[in-house]
Amino acid sequence: MTDAVIAVDPGRDKCGVAVVSRLEGVRWKNVVPAAEMAAVVAGLAERHAIDTVVLGDRTGRKDAMASLAALRPGGRELTVSLVDEHRSTDEARARYWRDHPPRGLARLLPVTLRVPPVPVDDYVAVIIAERYFNR
């Protein structure tokens, strides 16, 4: 198993992308337009010398797989593995609130009722990478 992966939470409009190392943790994460996901992954694969992409197995998986299959960053073929992302959005929301605690009256709401003000697809990508390492 590799030390670092590029994780992708695929979607129709946007994708979460993260570079995660088993030893160093999260090196990079962001939410990118779905149309730009393959180019972002190719750039990250070259910059970080990573050959393994882990991909969430739900919405947008087929289109993402097709985009990733065509990539040859630095002339290297990428290995793409599917990872179960069941309930990862709920976990990502909880992590978002842990990293960005609410203030004022919002802090009195239960975590399950809070809606982050930004997409959490990048957090989902990190969770996908962690699930890959833990299996």
Which pTM was predicted?
A: 0.93
Could you write out the DSSP letters of every residue in 69-112?
Answer: HT--GGGPPPEEEEE--TTHHHHHHHHHHHHS---GGGGGS-GG
What is the per-residue pLDDT for 1? 63
Question: Does residue 42 form part of some domain?
Answer: yes
Question: Does residue 24 form part of some domain?
Answer: yes
Question: Does residue 101 form part of some domain?
Answer: no
Total structural domains within the chain: 1
Question: Does residue 55 form part of some domain?
Answer: yes
C-alpha neighbours within 13 Å on the C-beta side of residue 75: 0
Question: Does residue 79 form part of some domain?
Answer: yes
pLDDT in tens, the chain (135 residues): 679 999 999 999 999 999 999 999 999 999 999 999 999 999 999 999 999 999 999 989 999 999 998 888 878 889 999 999 999 999 999 999 999 999 898 888 887 788 899 999 999 999 999 999 998
Q: Residue 28: give the domain boundaries.
A: 4-86+120-134
